[in-house]
Amino acid sequence: MSKVLSIIYFCLGFIESYLIMSFYIPSLRIGLIAPSLEFFVSSIKTTWVFKTIISTILGLLMIGIYFLLIRKKKDSKIFTLLLVLLFIIILIGSIYESFTANIF
């Protein structure tokens, strides 16, 4: 069970940090006037090597935090809830950013 959770934490941490870098860091945002889906895909594809390296490091950090919580016998349910909630907020915000990119 802990291996499955660690893989889930890594995936969530990786996706969250990748989306944050793609849509919320101004220096990594793209200035493209295009339809929403094209803007979303282009934002994800731009500087993908850098974003993948940083996201992998942050995903491994999530696994490390999870194992620290297990070793200290802390309840990891709150960590899981916060991670999933953050993922949902970031995903919705990223979709919103891609749909409103051409308005301004």
Structural domain boundaries of the chain?
2-99
Question: Distance (Å, rounded) from C-alpha 93 to C-alpha 71?
Answer: 34
Nearest alpha carbon to residue 41 among 104, 100, 94: 94
CA dihedral angle for residue 51, residue 56, residue 61, residue 62, rounded to 10 degrees = 100
Question: Distance (Å, rounded) from C-alpha 57 to C-alpha 23?
Answer: 19
Percent of the chain with pLDDT over 70: 95
User: Model's pTM, two decimal places?
Assistant: 0.80
The model's pLDDT over 33-44, given as tens digits with 9 standing for 90+, comes to: 878 888 888 888
**Banded model confidence at residue 94, pLDDT cuts 50, 70, 90:** confident
Q: Is residue 104 predicted with pLDDT exceeding 60?
A: no
Q: Give the residue-averaged pLDDT of 15-20.
A: 90
SS3 77: helix
